Structure 1
């Protein structure tokens, strides 16, 4: 009897948890990883949030910024299993679906290059505006 009551209570708590949780309306995804799977998964989850109606901003720093290059490395453009998607391909899809994508303000100077090396739709983050986005009480911040 006690096991049945505990199972029922656990199930009720599990079911009620997600029902009362509210989806964040804004999302800032920060990608710094050089790992192609991590980069891809960051874009997969970001696309899911975008499709659920979140206002999405993507910040790409360090090796994460490489997926925004017009001439990106193979790790950013090669399709990965199971759906043969690439980090850059999903970044492009996110941008075309309304996401804002920017590289860190120090990414391009660190490479000795200018914004002309970025793919269409990607800008350079301005630190005050990005700090505001990250500090926004209504925003979730995902870091990969």
Structure 2
């Protein structure tokens, strides 16, 4: 009596394998990235460090993500908020490519990255909103918290 049951299990296993193989071969076509903003991978990068090397590495990695297709949102707080100030210039370049983080930030913004300073940056600095680079906003806690809670948006901190 166990023979029909074993044949049924083998049949179900084979049938399930065929269905899985068929589904996997169709899935890439059904869920192809159409290039729209809604289908692009998003990333949130939060930079708080005032260290030139840390800021530079944050910008280098963020730029690499952008070049690989990520839709970036950068939040600059504390010492890193200065990068968002119009005319800000780092004291030196970072080797080996002699980069400045504010230069990479400008490049990413030109290529569509959204940049905000945190809500408490301006009230705790010598700057006002008019001092920020064109296109830099001031993040509001509610929308920023929503982005941080969204499991589809990875959050990177420096």
Scaled by the length of structure 1, the TM-score of the pair is 0.78
Distance 1:96 1:73 in 2: 18
Distance 1:116 1:66 in 2: 13
Moved over 4 A (4+): none
- Aligned partner of 2:47 in structure 1 is 31
- Aligned partner of 1:11 in structure 2 is none
Structure 1 residue 110 corresponds to structure 2 residue 124: yes
1:112: Cα distance to partner? 4.6
- Aligned partner of 1:60 in structure 2 is 76
Alignment of structure 1 residues 77-116 onto 2, 5 Å: 78-116=92-130
Distance 1:73 1:94 in 2: 17
Structure 1 runs not aligned, ≥5 long: 1-23
Distance 1:73 1:96 in 2: 18
The correspondence for 2:59, drawn from 35, 43, 54, is 43
- Whether the aligned pair in 2 keeps the contact of 1:66 and 1:73 (CA below 8 Å) is no
1:127: Cα distance to partner? 1.1
CA RMSD of aligned residues (A): 1.4
Q: Give aligned pairs, total.
A: 119
Distance 1:112 1:35 in 2: 19
Distance 1:79 1:112 in 2: 24
Distance 1:135 1:82 in 2: 36
Larger RCO of the pair (alpha carbons < 8 Å, separation 6+): 1
The correspondence for 2:146, drawn from 110, 132, 135, is 132
Distance 2:127 2:98 in 1: 30
Scaled by the length of structure 2, the TM-score of the pair is 0.71
